[in-house]
Amino acid sequence: MLAGRPDISTVVDIGAGDGRLLAEIGIRARQLRLIGLDLRSPEPATLPVTWLRGWWDVEREAWTAADSGRTTPLTDVLPTSDPLAIVAAEWLDELPAVVAGRGRDGAQETWREILVQGDGQELLGGPVAEPDAEWLDRWSPESARAESGRSRDRAWTTLLDCLRPAGGLAIIIDYGHQLDERPARGTLAGYQHGHPVSPRPSSAINLTAHVAVDSVRAAGEAAGARTELLLRQREAVRRLLPDPPTEASDTLARLQLASERRLLADNLGDHWWLVQSVDPKR
């Protein structure tokens, strides 16, 4: 994908985890400047990556630095003088989102916030904020329970804002769904040490919910971005990854690449890819 954009000199991975993706990119494209953003530190710490520790504050819609606690617009955190590629791999699905269920307010059915107690028991609270109710009515009209994607849409358009001065690409790789396959009961899930657990408020539990990729796409396009592709990862692998070499001398490389393709297409094939581009400001 980046091969078609020789003007891009910097790759940013937001929600970079341990830096593994950036490390792989660095091996294949040593000329690129690499920037990772995550609350965790990279492994190993010697990765040739500029690392910015912190987290995205969905309420303030800004980046909070881990060392100082200072909140800063993301456009002031990332370099904007040259074209960027910003990768959000399994980042949006971990951003906090309002979880809502349908309830009655007299004779009228409304979206009401689902409150989760420390033991995992759920209660139906008050009405959600009007912007979340509007999002749910538009993007999840048939669901009895759903997660509002408004915070994800806003985070995505902020990434696109970082591209406006010099242009570039923004890429989502994440669990997701579209309107015609939206789960009727939502997708909120909890994980502890990699194992599924009942979702509840706890610093020891990682909460996730799949991304409404069609809503994110629409938000990006409304902000002026151009959609380059939206497809499942298995199709992205077929379309974007090179075929394994057939020369006998490259047997090991062929087997390794074939194995990588199989892993991406089979084990992680249900991931969605969304790529949007932004032209430089003139």
CB count in 10 Å sphere of residue 61: 15
Q: Report whether 87 contacts 99 (CB < 8 A).
A: no
Is 60 exceeded by the pLDDT of residue 269? Answer: no
What the block records as the tokens of 236 is: 């992205």
The residue with greater pLDDT, 26 or 133, is 133
Q: Could you give the CA distance from residue 56 to residue 58 in angstroms, rounded to a whole number?
A: 6
Comparing CA positions, the residue from 213, 276, 211, 272 lying closest to residue 237 is 272
From residue 63, how far is each of 66, 93, 97, 242 by CA, in Å? Answer: 9, 17, 17, 36
Would you give the DSSP letter of residue 48?
A: S
Q: How many CA atoms lie within 13 A of 255 on its CB side?
A: 4
DSSP reduced 3-state for 57: strand
User: Can the peptide bond before residue 244 be classed as cis, meaning omega within 30 degrees of 0?
Assistant: no
Q: What's the pLDDT band for 238 if we cut at 50, 70, 90?
A: confident
Q: What pairs with residue 52 in β-bridges?
A: 37
- What is the predicted pLDDT for the residue at 257? 47
Q: What's the pLDDT band for 137 if we cut at 50, 70, 90?
A: very high
- What is the predicted pLDDT for the residue at 262? 47
Q: What pairs with residue 168 in β-bridges?
A: 84, 278
CATH classification of 2-278, choosing from 3.30.750.24, 3.50.50.60, 3.40.50.12710, 3.30.930.10? 3.40.50.12710
Long-range contacts of 37-46 (CB under 8 A, 24+ apart): 37/12, 37/13, 37/63, 37/77, 38/14, 39/66, 42/16, 42/18, 43/18, 43/19
Looking at the chain, the whole-number percentage of residues with pLDDT higher than 90 is 70
Q: Report whether 172 contacts 156 (CB < 8 A).
A: yes
Residue 5, amino acid: R
Domain residues of the chain, as ranges?
2-278
Give the contacts of 258 (CB within 8 A, at least 6 positions apart): 244
Which run of H or E residues covers position 219?
A: helix 213-222
Flag whether the pTM goes above 0.95.
Answer: no
From residue 83, how far is each of 53, 73, 170, 180, 266 by CA, in Å? Answer: 22, 18, 11, 35, 33
Q: What is the dihedral of CA 201, 205, 206, 209, to 10 degrees?
A: -50
**Span 196-236, pLDDT tens digits:** 999 988 989 999 999 999 999 999 999 999 999 999 988 88
- What is the predicted pLDDT for the residue at 242? 58
**Span 102-126, pLDDT tens digits:** 998 777 889 999 998 878 889 999 9
Comparing CA positions, the residue from 106, 146, 107 lying closest to residue 128 is 146
Give one DSSP letter per residue of 156-187, joined into a string: HHHHHHHHTTT-EEEEEEE-EE-GGG--TT--
**Span 27-71, pLDDT tens digits:** 888 899 999 999 998 887 677 899 999 999 999 999 999 999 999
